[in-house]
Amino acid sequence: MKEDVKTTSAPWKQIADMWNTYFTPPSRVSQDEAGKYKEWLKEIGREEMKALVLGVTPEIREALAGLGYKTTCIDINKEMILAMDSILKVKDPKEVVINEDWLKNSLEDNTFDVVIGDCVLSNVKWEERDKLLLEVKRVLKLNGIFITRFFSVPREKSFKTINELLEHFSKKEPNYRSALELVFELQIFCYNSEDHKGTFSEPKKVLERLRVGNRFNFKSEGLNKILDMVWNFWCEKYLNKIYYYPYRDEEEKRLEKFFEILKTYEAKDHDYSKITPMYFLKKTE
């Protein structure tokens, strides 16, 4: 009997639970960003236009639902597809999901009017970023639109020392959002522009030096709680995950090799919008 992945595989359910619990803006699309995706898609949308979603981001698929697009999603991870399907609040019954690689796939040339991908470039190795952008350009029709958001790091780091960083977070409410923000700041703090990597292993090394025995013991109990969340989830579940971050101007120059930048947007509902900007791009010849 053929295995039914949806009923026999537990990991996709765990991914869905983690996504809803631990992933908050800026890692996940904020309400303002979701609104901007929908606004831009509505602005260019006409009946029967074809849209390709890189990944299976729920907020983008929900923005597309009801706008008249013929939507295709592509993602290499079957369990992620199942997890994000379970999170969707609104789903287009005609949406097609393809389980293939963004960099090597069966999509035909000049097929889509718009391609959308939220923070997809950070998931691609540094030396393969041009290849992904060439794939986007390949599948877009003439004058097609690419809409994306990307992670970058500031030219000047937010905190010069780990003590400054910890002092800042000792004043924050301990919750999953502040924990994710601390992870992001630790990645920036440990960032090396030579390899462009945003890892969880380097932040863990920093945190290991702050632990007394097997716990954090700062005066601020709120800070201890935030550090515990970072340690127990991000430094355990995602220890081997590597992202690739550019400087913002560096990424813009790369985008301009393949597209014309028509619009940019920085969300108003979180503090990291300057380094997680949104771009509305047109395919160039």
Q: Is the pLDDT of residue 2 over 50?
A: no
Lowest mean pLDDT among 24-33, 42-51, 91-100: 42-51
Tens of pLDDT, residue by residue over 122-165, are 999 999 999 999 999 999 999 999 999 999 999 999 899 999 99
**Residue appearing with tokens 């999953």:** 176
Count how many Cα atoms sit within 13 Å of the Cα of residue 175 in the half-sphere of its side chain.
Answer: 7
- In angstroms, how far apart are the furthest CA atoms of the chain? 62
pLDDT of residue 66: 84
For residue 47, the model assigns a pLDDT of: 75
Chain segment 31-72, per-residue pLDDT in tens = 999 999 999 999 997 778 999 999 999 999 999 998 989 999
Among positive and negative, which fits the CA dihedral 265, 270, 274, 278?
Answer: negative
Q: For the chain, give every domain's residue range.
A: 5-152+246-283, 162-244
Which carries the bigger pLDDT value, residue 13 or residue 122?
Answer: 122
Q: Which of 203, 196, 199, 201 is nearest to 245 (CA)?
A: 196
The C-alpha atoms of residue 157 and residue 155 are separated, in whole angstroms, by: 6
Tokens of 22: 């631990």
Q: For residues 139 and 114, what is the distance between their CA atoms, to the nearest angstrom?
A: 9
Helices (H) and strands (E) in the chain, counts: 12, 9
Q: Which among 83, 121, 79 is positioned nearest to 102, based on CA atoms?
A: 121
Q: What number is the average pLDDT over the span 260-271?
A: 98
Using 50, 70 and 90 to split pLDDT, how confident is the model at 11? confident
Specify which residues 115 forms β-bridges with.
Answer: 52, 146
User: Which sign, positive or negative, has the C-alpha torsion 262, 142, 126, 242?
Assistant: positive
* Cα 32-178-276 angle, rounded to 5 deg: 40
Q: What is the pLDDT of residue 7?
A: 45
What angle separates helix 11-22 from helix 176-189, to the nearest 10 degrees? 90
d(CA 189, CA 185): 6
CB–CB of 189/154 below 8 Å?
A: no
**Is it the case that residue 177 has pLDDT exceeding 60?**
yes
- Average of pLDDT values for 197-206? 94
Which residues lie below 8 Å from residue 221, measured CB to CB, with a gap of 6+?
A: none
For residue 8, name the pLDDT band (cuts at 50, 70, 90).
Answer: very low
Taking residues 98-116, what's their average pLDDT? Answer: 97
Please tell me the pTM assigned to this model: 0.94
Q: Given a cut of 60, is residue 89 above it in pLDDT?
A: yes
Q: Which CATH number fits domain 5-152+246-283: 1.10.150.120, 3.40.640.10, 3.40.47.10, 3.40.50.150?
A: 3.40.50.150
**What's the pLDDT score for residue 5?**
43
pLDDT per residue over 239-262, tens digit each? 899 999 999 999 999 999 999 999
